[in-house]
Structure 1
């Protein structure tokens, strides 16, 4: 009995010694005093960060030897980016974000037609790969055996050329493996500079759930969002960021989008919230459905 207790105590101490220290807190909206869900935060200049949960609560791992004056950056779509020092956060673990005010241009969507005739049916255009013929690899968000089962902040996406004015109607992507009961994604549309994603094209936060281990082609209706693609932008980056999940069981953690080898750079990803983008040759089985627009009206 004594031997068993000694072993148990030893194992408990090992867990404590190897557990990474962290700081916990809550992010709220300054005006509404409500939780800000799925905000990104991390130490400035470092690659690792985390994301707040649906209640605005977070658990941020602390790097070894972190300075008390180190800056923590907090950001979320629809809010002003905020900075706070580590020692300030220790004194008050509630972070308040200020909603951002951005004036967006409105553009009407319609089809050209001659006077006295019924409007023509608008035919959409596809940006990206819409076929799963001979997928050559899987772009994994999650794979069994990883240390972090949550995959918080991971992003994968594609860069597409913009040749004409259009309004985004839907996003479509092909899921090749999925062992999760629920996954919550954030969809992002980026401007592209020097071949890499930079600033967001939209101010509305686009969050959606994948449920019941969904497999195959998934379509996300974006007609309610005013996401306008303009030729002057030349290119757009479209990415899915993992912000939350519920596992089906403890033993299996797989989720991937099917993909194919490409001849030019276009597939981009990062494994953590504040990591730098990695650009590779490849094509995710993902496309954007775009409705053409007339800029003259």
Structure 2
């Protein structure tokens, strides 16, 4: 994109419906509310259900977690994105603050156990050990909060978001008790149509590709990003088609396909691939690149 091209502001949240995987009060629900506050949320059982909600017209957008700063790639999501038929139009970072939630009127001294998804239980080891709390594995975070609210037992609390506490009428006994204060999940906002407009000063482009079966194809294909000064922030490989010989790559780069250097880098990559698909062009989250 030429330097004199006028910049357009980040897309304004609109009305409509946005689908996510999980129960009301999940961190994916929080991402929907933060990124698209004007939209009605649709909780879905699986990632596939959230994608299907958009494809069927039941929702205009889907909000899907793609990676976590502590635990890496969200399982299976890289396989689902290219096959979804949806395009990425935005990204949103959510700081995963974990809170101890209990039925109204409960004091911290009353709590003997904490329930949550196994991942969250592992992220609060210090707090749980300090207070001698037994760990109870729940199906998910918001679901654990719902169970605690329904059971009404002050001896069992939930580890979840403050949003879950609001929804299920629980008191927050302790805030931000996670062991790591930099734990962040990256979410992608997706819809059926691509939005290729330059909407911010800093844009991101996500694509998937498979290299041709020739020596050094990956090395040569990626060389264009280095020689053209394009920063690649993520490159991951995964198997496709149930075979060890078919490897697909997922990549995030800084820039827009209309930028001269990005266009050259993608053109060079194209010489060494037999499949290349752009999954989305979107504004970088303002927190991208900031120190944790």
The structure with the largest helix share of the pair is 2
Larger Cα-atom Rg: 1
